[in-house]
């Protein structure tokens, strides 16, 4: 999986409207966050599952871009003063610090809608087929929406200063973090026209690595530094939010990450092709340091 970052980044540029227009500042703001140096975890998952299901790589490109657009919008909105009010993202000033709150809010909105424009575009339909594009729109909308990522963010907001217990944290992380990761895994299968058993197994993989990803994020927030992470640390504590680390301690969290990673690897037994890459990627994410 060497090519996926290049493929995604080139296509993200191509899908972005031309900035030679009166609303140039909006396009520049969208582009600023799209090219700000994310790890491209979700596009990689789309490409990995597309390959595992023996799909055409080109068909995965619009799907990978759509998921990354939703992810990017969520980060822009998450950093806004009305949310986490963070000034730094990926080692650079947050979108609203550069473009102002109004434009940052609208850049997030425009990325959210662009994701669905891309998924239903002529290009996507030509590459993946109408049925797959329609299923992808439905899946991404569901996982990013009110009972998915946005719902998780609301649970996060209303749980501030409540000493939320582990069950609430689990539901919040499943929705806020794992849902979009799950959507990426499912979209990879859908882009390849895979059957429902494979889509279900991909969803299980996504749920497990998604929760592990969030626990690892909580661990890094506790043990890492602003310089290493490129974003502020310790804001959950300051905002009175429970995290896996505050509830369970670092050692238990590490054990949980390992267990969830193993569960993700086990779910790959539903596939008849070589799962080595996805196994390796789950292990790599569990050890990530940024
Ligand atoms: C819709 C406002 C709104 C928020 C949705 C996803 C989300 C909730 C908020 C973003 C902030 C956050 C801590 C999300 C949890 C998931 C997570 C750890 C995101 C960071 O993802 P990475 O590490 O980011 O893949 P990069 O920078 O590599 O793209």
3-state secondary structure string across 55-78: CCHHHHHHHHHHHHHHHHHHHHHH
Write down the domain spans for the chain. 2-287
236: pLDDT strictly greater than 90: no
Ligand 1 atom with minimal separation from the 72 CA: 29
* Cα 25 to Cα 133: distance, rounded to the nearest angstrom: 30
**What average pLDDT does the segment 285-289 reach?**
91
pLDDT at 37: 83
Exposed / middle / buried, residue 103 (Cβ in 10 Å: 0-12, 13-18, 19+) = buried
Provide the pLDDT for residue 2: 63
Beta partners for residue 88, in sequence order: 93
Model confidence band, residue 230 (pLDDT cutoffs 50, 70, 90): confident
pLDDT at 219: 92
Q: Which two tokens stand for residue 10?
A: 């080139």
Binding site membership of 75 for ligand 1 (Cβ less than 6 Å): yes
Confidence of residue 1 (pLDDT cuts 50, 70, 90): low
Nearest CA to ligand 1 atom 15: 177
Provide mean pLDDT across the span 174-189: 98
pLDDT at 224: 79
Measure the N-to-C terminal CA separation of the chain; round to a whole number of Å. 20
Distance (angstroms) between ligand 1 centre and the Cα of 273 equals: 31
**Atom 10, ligand 1: residue with shortest CA distance:** 75
Backbone φ, ψ for residue 88 (5° rounding): -130, 135
Protein residue closest via CA to atom 7 of ligand 1: 74
CA-83 nearest atom, ligand 1:
2
Query: Residues 30-36: what's their mean pLDDT?
Result: 96
Instruction: Judge whether residue 229 has pLDDT over 80.
Output: no
- Mean residue pLDDT of the chain comes to 94
For 66-85, give one letter per residue: b (16+ CB within 10 A) or e. bbbbbbbbbbbbbbbeeebe
- Yes or no: say if 140 and 119 are a contact pair by the CB < 8 Å rule: yes
In the structure, what pLDDT confidence band is assigned to residue 150 with cuts at 50, 70 and 90?
Answer: very high
The answer, yes or no, to whether residue 158 has pLDDT greater than 70, is yes
Helix H or strand E segment including 24: helix 24-34
Whole-angstrom distance, CA of residue 154 vs CA of residue 175: 10
Q: Is the CB of 149 under 6 A from ligand 1?
A: yes
Given a cut of 90, whether residue 107 has pLDDT beyond it is yes
pLDDT at 176 over 80: yes
User: If you average pLDDT over residues 180-196, what whole number do you get?
Assistant: 98
- For residue 71, the CA-to-ligand 1 centroid distance in Å is 7
pLDDT recorded at residue 58: 96
**Residues whose CB falls within 8 Å of the CB of residue 112, separated by 6 or more in sequence, listed in order:** 69, 70, 73, 144
Q: Is the pLDDT of residue 273 over 90?
A: no
The CB of 153 under 6 Å from ligand 1? The reply is: yes
Ligand 1 pocket mutation pick from 35, 157, 177 by most atoms within 8 angstroms of CB:
177
pLDDT for residue 240: 74
Query: What pLDDT shows up at residue 248?
Result: 93
The rounded Å distance from CA 145 to ligand 1 centre is 14
Reported confidence tier of residue 242, pLDDT bands at 50, 70, 90: confident
Q: What is the pTM of this model?
A: 0.95
Measured distance CA(250)–CA(256) in Å, rounded:
10
- Spelled out in words, what is the top-level CATH class assigned to the domain 2-287? mainly alpha
């Amino acid at each position: 999986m060497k090519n996926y970052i290049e493929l995604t980044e080139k296509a993200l540029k191509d899908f972005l409207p031309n900035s030679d227009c009166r609303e140039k500042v909006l396009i520049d703001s969208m582009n600023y966050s799209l090219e700000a140096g994310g790890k491209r975890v979700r596009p990689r998952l789309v490409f990995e599952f597309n390959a595992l299901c023996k799909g055409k790589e080109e068909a995965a490109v619009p799907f990978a871009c759509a998921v990354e657009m939703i992810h990017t919008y969520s980060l822009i909105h998450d950093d806004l003063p009305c949310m986490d009010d963070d000034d730094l993202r990926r080692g650079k000033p947050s979108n609203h610090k550069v473009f102002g709150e109004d434009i940052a809010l609208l850049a997030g909105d425009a990325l959210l809608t662009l994701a669905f424009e891309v998924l239903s575009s002529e290009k996507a339909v030509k590459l993946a087929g109408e049925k797959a594009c329609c299923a992808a729109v439905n899946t991404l909308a569901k996982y990013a929406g009110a009972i998915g990522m946005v719902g998780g963010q609301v649970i996060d907001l209303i749980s501030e200063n409540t000493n939320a217990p582990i069950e609430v944290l689990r539901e919040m992380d499943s929705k806020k973090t794992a849902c979009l990761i799950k959507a990426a895994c499912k979209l990879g299968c859908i882009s390849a026209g895979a059957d429902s058993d494979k889509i279900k197994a991909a969803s299980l993989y996504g749920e497990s690595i998604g929760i592990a990803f969030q626990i690892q994020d909580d661990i890094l927030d506790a043990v890492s530094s602003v310089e290493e992470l490129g974003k502020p640390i310790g804001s959950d504590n300051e905002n009175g939010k429970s995290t896996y680390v505050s509830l369970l301690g670092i050692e238990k969290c590490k054990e949980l990450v390992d267990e969830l990673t193993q569960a993700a690897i086990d779910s790959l037994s539903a596939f008849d092709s070589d799962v080595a890459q996805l196994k390796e990627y789950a292990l790599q994410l569990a050890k990530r340091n940024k």
